Each structure stands twice: as structure tokens, then as C-alpha cells.
Amino acid sequence: MARTELYVVRHGKTMFNTLQRVQGWCDTPLTRAGEQGIHYLGLGLREIDFVEAVSSDSGRAIETMRLILGEHVSGPQIPYHIDKRIREWCFGSLEGGYDAEMWGVIPRVLDFPDYDNMIASHVSFEAIANAIHHADTANWAESFDELTERVKTGFEDIAYRVEKKGGGNALVVSHGLTIAFLLHLINNENNVRMDIDNGSVTRLIYENGEFTIAEVGSTEYIKKGLSLSHDLLA
């Protein structure tokens, strides 16, 4: 059986990303610069043989996938599904506020003086999820166990489905914290990280029911697409 590989993309840059506002289950559209970045990403991925495409149900992920498939040589022929299990974390009543406000509250809940001290201490995803759950006055935020079940089964089901059909590459569009959390679930040595850039690609290999990490947060596909775009204009 051919091996199964997921190309997991973080969606393009949005209005709230640009304004540095918290964006989990709430949604804003891609900016013009965000669309351009994904246009280049699509060019960089256009020759890769994808047997399936899956995005979260958030508008920003759907639009990112539409732009990528629009550049792909076989875009219209690639089966596309939407799976809400791979959407971003829910931040409850913290949604829409400034990032600095949320990341100011969470360290205090966990008895750290500030964000930098919290990250330097190698705080766990479980602690952050519990802090968000505690700080959410609307009681919408998911518990750590709920997040784990949702994210783990979402990505595993995608990989398992592709594997059962004979393997190959799947294109997946998800979200920054969800991708970082998935990396931790695959290998708990992956601590909390905030450097999964918009439009970056994280590659995962799925064999014998297990994921291994091949590449994290690569922007090389965007650079390749930018170079191709220049060549086409030359």
C-alpha cells in the first residue's frame, strides 16, 4: 500500500490575524495580502498529486482551499470535503478580543507574571486549555479532553480514509493552534509553539495507524510559488 501523507496548511492571513485579535470559532475573511500569499502557495503546490482535499468548516479555511485548488493542475478533479473537527480552538468569551488581552489573562490564571515567563516555563497545552476554559465566562470553550478527542480523531480519520483508498497525498487546511496541538499529540516533546505561519505547510506521514512528522511550518512552497509567478510574468 502506498504511504499516506498529509500536507497540512494553516489558512491565509485574515482581518483578525492582521489586527491581532483572537480568532477561534469566530471568523473573518482573508485580507488581500492573505489571498496573495495563498495564491503563491497554490502555485507552489500545483504539481503535487493530491488524492483528496479537506478543510475545516471555517470560512477562512474554505476560502484558502478554494484558492489553492484554483491554482492546482487537477484542482476541479480533487475530491473536497469539509470537517468541523479540524477547526480552531474555541476561546469562548475571549473570542474577538485583542491577542494581548487573552495572553495577558491566561498567564495570571496559571500564576505566571506574564506571557514570556509562561512560555519559558514550557507550559503544557493541557494547562493552557484549562486556563481558557476557566477564563471563559460564556462556558463555550472546550476542555482539554474534548479538544484532544476532536483534533485527534479528525486528522486520524482523514489519514485512515486516504490509506484505505490506497494511500497518497491529502491536502488539509486547518488552523495555527490546532496544528501546533496536533504536533504535540503526535509527539509530546513538541511544546506550545506560536510560529505556525499563515500559509505554511506541515507534512505528516501516516503508517500503521501512527503519524510521524516530516516537516513543520514550511514556507518554502510559498517561495516556490512566488518564483514561479515571477517566471510566468517574465
Quick: pLDDT tens for 4-63.
Answer: 999 999 999 999 999 999 999 999 999 999 999 999 999 999 999 999 999 999 999 999
| pLDDT tens for each residue of 89-104 | 999 999 999 999 999 9
* 194: confidence class by pLDDT, cuts 50, 70, 90: low
Q: Is the Cβ–Cβ distance between 174 and 8 less than 8 Å?
A: yes
* 1: confidence class by pLDDT, cuts 50, 70, 90: low
* 233: confidence class by pLDDT, cuts 50, 70, 90: low
Q: Is the Cβ–Cβ distance between 37 and 13 less than 8 Å?
A: yes
Position 122 scores a pLDDT of: 87
* % of residues, the chain, pLDDT over 90: 90
What's the pTM value of the predicted model, to 2 decimals?
A: 0.96
Position 108 scores a pLDDT of: 96
Position 189 scores a pLDDT of: 77
Distance (Å, whole) CA 167 – CA 163: 4
Bridge partners of 8, per DSSP, are 172, 202
pLDDT of 193 higher than 90? no
Q: 194: closest CA among 99, 109, 56? A: 99
